[in-house]
Amino acid sequence: MRARGVAVKVDTRTVAVCAGLLVALAAIALLTITSVGARLTVAGAIEAAGGGGTLRERFVLTELRLPRLVLGALVGAAFALGGAVFQSLSRNPLGSPDIIGFTTGASSGALAAILLFGAGPTGIAAGAIAGGLAAAGVVYGLASLRGGGMTRIILIGIGVSAMLLAVNNFLISRARLDAAVAAAAWLTGTLNGRGWDQVLLVVAVLVVVGPVLLSYGRRLQLLELGDEVARGVGVRVGAVRLRLVLLAVAAVAVATAAAGPVAFISLAAPQIARRLTGSAPLQLLPSALTGAVLVLAGDFAAQWLFAPAQLPVGVVTGAVGGGYLAWLLSREWRKGRTA
Amino acid sequence: MTSRRTIGLIIAVVALAAAAMLSLALGTKSIPAGTILDALRPGALPGPGQAEDFQIVRDLRVPRTVLGLVAGLALGLAGGVMQALTRNPLADPGILGINAGAAAAVVLAIRFLGVGSVTGYIWFAFGGAAAAFTVVYFLGTRGRSGASPQRLALAGAAVGAALLSVTNAVALLDVSTFDRYRLWVVGSLAGGDLDVAASAGWFVAAGALLALALGRPLNALALGADSAQALGAHVGRTRLLTAVAITVLCGAATAAIGPVAFLGLAVPHAARAFVGPDQRWLLPYCAVLAPVVLLVADVVGRLVVRPGELEAGLVTALIGAPVFLAIVLRRRIGHL
């Protein structure tokens, strides 16, 4: 009975946090619609949403704002889900796809597809997924040569990323200027010029991956407590872990393919969600909602701060996220904890 | 032992001369050795049909060779003193985010202050490099258990990522800035001129003298701050002067040829394998061997995809990253 009481208590706070995050999402969306680019009034937006209003209002809402907002939220959720699974399985806040080379590999793959083969959206997605898997494979393969756990994986990730960065810079320096600008914006992670096509792509994958991942949430928390604990309560550790990794990779890959590698969402969202909910194990749903809020807030800041220029959202998340990572590291180290 | 080191250093200097010669002699266009020697004589006039060859040697190959010497020396020495100061085998101007700091400052200066020449933005490169190094150093060394190689590398990755975002933001705001930025960020010796090499060269010379003079105090520091203090070394002063040397060397090299990674990492390791940990020998070796590697990387880049070129920065990354990975794989690694 007591255990059940605790569970209910945790759930109350989590539910409250999730509700708060949803309210925040709606608020940022409204703010974006009313104060960025071709602004709409609140009344105009509501009318246009109901099929009324002027042609211009309907166009701005359904073709410009909505796809961008929906895509931003989905991409943020996907990055955060992938990051939460990776961090949970590695029991390390740094075990996110940003750090272990997956994201840089996906960038190289997509760049090669854009600049060398002139690929369209499907080709870019395929290139990103192939590149990400290849880089992650190399990092894990090298790490498994020597063991040494997460620290070695992270350091190998830094080395592989630095080399791929040189390759990316080289590819960009050789492309035609317009293609290079587009590629560089993509590399930073951007929602500019995205439409319902990309939304459909992400929805198609997340509809499958999201619910399955959420249904694994409990087992993920048990795994985070340790393999023995999980095995003790009947979790088939090896099989569950493999499935979780594949699902997480799919989520991050499809988000990368749609919007580019938006920096640091995978790393920061699960950590922020953990602090909001005050729960020790990572929780997937709050993480996903936090990721959505972070991307939409970053995109709003990128459009609003530098208007009329349309900066990629990744610029904002990269600058803020890099600072956040530095703060996180210094905090953990000051406590003398091992991060 | 000493005579072995002396002979090794002489061989390294000979190798440097050979690399410089190769850099003058080899390129997209084959030019006869006699013509190259004629072109190098100041005041010599081209014979019939030699005008183009003279121009290539004097305006293209000489400047890029001098740039390679200056920037290579700077990055090699910077890597050497950095590894000594942080007692960290993973220290490198690229890995620790220092080049990213210089790059961000340079791009900001180009975009918002309209600074166009290397003599102008070299000061911003110093400022950016100093700021980045300060932040990474304090971030990586605070806390109870002090600095560890892993922490510094991670702090460098975090700060570098944030700075890269700033650089990208500025570069993407304006197409013409972006166009110049993308050619510079690869790290190329081509396209520079002797003025660039000269203005960077003075700073590199000053930084190099300072770095080489720090060999003995850095040796003491290698024993740990407490032991160094007991031996009568000025720990605080040594650290400060080393930081100044690193800033000047990295800033000047980055302003001159762009952010070249891994050169400052790989060369000190190769040198240490030969001369051992004595900084008084190690640092001169770094200063001589790094330009050899950079010049050879540049020549290789010129030859492998003829008539195109691969930038020296790409070639050093492709050579240097495996060295970094090998170190990571060989070392025993504790917790972060």
Average pLDDT, chain A: 81
CA distance A299 to chain B (A): 13
The more confident residue out of A3 and B233 is B233
Query: Shortest CB distance from B328 goes to which of A155, A188, A309?
Result: A155
| Helical ranges in chain B per DSSP H | 2-25, 33-40, 51-55, 62-86, 98-112, 118-141, 149-173, 175-185, 194-213, 215-221, 225-230, 235-257, 263-275, 279-304, 312-330
- Residue A11 in any domain: the answer is no
**Which of A286-290, B45-49, B144-148, B204-208 comes out lowest in average pLDDT?**
B144-148
Q: Rounded to a whole number, what is the distance in angstroms from the first to the last CA of chain B?
A: 37
Query: Is 50 exceeded by the pLDDT of residue A338?
Result: no
Query: Is 50 exceeded by the pLDDT of residue B334?
Result: no
- Residue A308 in any domain: the answer is yes
Q: What is the SS3 assignment for B146?
A: coil
Q: What's chain B's length in residues?
A: 336
**Which of A224-228, B248-252, B274-278 comes out lowest in average pLDDT?**
A224-228
pLDDT on residue B143: 58
The more confident residue out of B225 and B14 is B14
Test mutation, A158, A174, A186, chain B, max B CBs within 10 A: A158
- Residue A339 in any domain: the answer is no
A285-299: average pLDDT: 92
Give CA–CA dist A22/A28, Å, rounded.
10
**Touching B: A residues 49-78, CB under 8 Å:** none
Contact assignment for A166 to B178 by CB distance below 8 Å: no
**Touching B: A residues 158-197, CB under 8 Å:** 158-163, 165-167, 169-170, 172-173, 177, 180-181, 184-185, 187-188
Q: Which percentage of chain A shows pLDDT scores above 70?
A: 93
Give CA–CA dist A164/B328, Å, rounded.
17
Residues with Cβ within 8 Å of residue A179, at least 6 apart in sequence: A114, A115
CA distance A259 to chain B (A): 16
Query: Is 90 exceeded by the pLDDT of residue B77?
Result: yes
- Residue A244 in any domain: the answer is yes
Q: What is the pTM of this model?
A: 0.78
Give CA–CA dist B320/B326, Å, rounded.
10
pLDDT on residue B18: 92
Number of domains in chain A: 1
Chain B contacts of A312, Cβ < 8 Å? 168, 172
- Residue A33 in any domain: the answer is yes
Please report, as a single letter, which amino acid is at residue A188: T
Band (B80; pLDDT cuts 50, 70, 90): very high
Contact assignment for A169 to B185 by CB distance below 8 Å: yes
Of the candidates A58, A197, A89, the one whose C-alpha atom is nearest the C-alpha of residue A153 is: A89
Structural domain containing residue A112:
20-334
Query: Shortest CB distance from B328 goes to which of A156, A323, A335?
Result: A156
Chain B contacts of A306, Cβ < 8 Å? 169, 173
Which CATH number belongs to the domain containing residue A174 in this structure?
A: 1.10.3470.10
Query: Is 60 exceeded by the pLDDT of residue A73?
Result: yes
**Which of A78-82, A159-163, A325-329, B144-148 comes out lowest in average pLDDT?**
B144-148
Residues with Cβ within 8 Å of residue A231, at least 6 apart in sequence: A237
Task: Find, in chain A, the residue whose alpha carbon is nearest to that of B310.
Answer: A170
Contact assignment for A158 to B335 by CB distance below 8 Å: no
Contact assignment for B317 to A154 by CB distance below 8 Å: no
pLDDT on residue A71: 92
**What domains sit in chain B, N to C, each tagged with a CATH number?**
2-330 (1.10.3470.10)
Query: Shortest CB distance from A146 goes to which of B321, B329, B336?
Result: B329
Task: Find, in chain B, the residue whose alpha carbon is nearest to that of A320.
Answer: B162
Task: Say how many C-beta atoms besides its own lie within 10 A of residue B253's C-beta.
Answer: 36
Chain A contacts of B313, Cβ < 8 Å? 166, 169
The more confident residue out of B21 and B306 is B21
Q: What is the DSSP letter of A175?
A: S
* Residue A21 φ/ψ, nearest 5 degrees: -65, -40
- Residue A13 in any domain: the answer is no
Task: Find, in chain A, the residue whose alpha carbon is nearest to that of B159.
Answer: A322
Q: Rounded to a whole number, what is the distance in angstroms from the first to the last CA of chain A?
A: 35
Contact assignment for B165 to A330 by CB distance below 8 Å: no
Q: CA separation (Å) from B105 to B87, B100, B130, B254?
A: 27, 9, 11, 11
Q: pLDDT, tens digit, for every residue of B50-68?
A: 788 887 888 888 888 999 9
**Which of A137-151, A153-167, B280-294 comes out lowest in average pLDDT?**
A137-151
A73-80: average pLDDT: 93
CA distance B335 to chain A (A): 6
A23-52: average pLDDT: 79
Test mutation, A92, A172, A329, chain B, max B CBs within 10 A: A329
Structural tokens at position A255: 């988000």
Contact assignment for A162 to B139 by CB distance below 8 Å: no
Note whether B253 and B204 are within 8 A (CB): yes
Test mutation, A91, A103, A155, chain B, max B CBs within 10 A: A155
Query: Chain A to chain B, count of Cβ pairs less than 8 Å apart?
Result: 162
Q: Does residue A146 belong to the interface with chain B, where contact is any CB pair within 8 Å?
A: yes
CA distance A188 to chain B (A): 8
pLDDT on residue B145: 54
The more confident residue out of A206 and A41 is A206
- Residue A107 in any domain: the answer is yes
Of the candidates A184, A99, A165, A89, the one whose C-alpha atom is nearest the C-alpha of residue A136 is: A99
Query: Is 80 exceeded by the pLDDT of residue B75?
Result: yes
Q: pLDDT, tens digit, for every residue of A186-201?
A: 788 888 878 888 888 8
- Cα–chain center distance at A169: 23
B262 dihedral zone (left: phi>0; alpha: psi -120 to 50; beta): left
pLDDT on residue A2: 41
Structural tokens at position B59: 């305006």
A235 dihedral zone (left: phi>0; alpha: psi -120 to 50; beta): beta
Q: pLDDT, tens digit, for every residue of B86-124?
A: 777 778 888 788 888 988 898 888 888 877 776 777 888
Contact assignment for A169 to B334 by CB distance below 8 Å: no
- Residue A9 in any domain: the answer is no
Contact assignment for A326 to B159 by CB distance below 8 Å: yes
Test mutation, A90, A142, A163, A337, chain B, max B CBs within 10 A: A163
Q: pLDDT, tens digit, for every residue of A86-112?
A: 888 877 777 777 777 787 888 888 888
Q: What is the ipTM of this complex?
A: 0.77
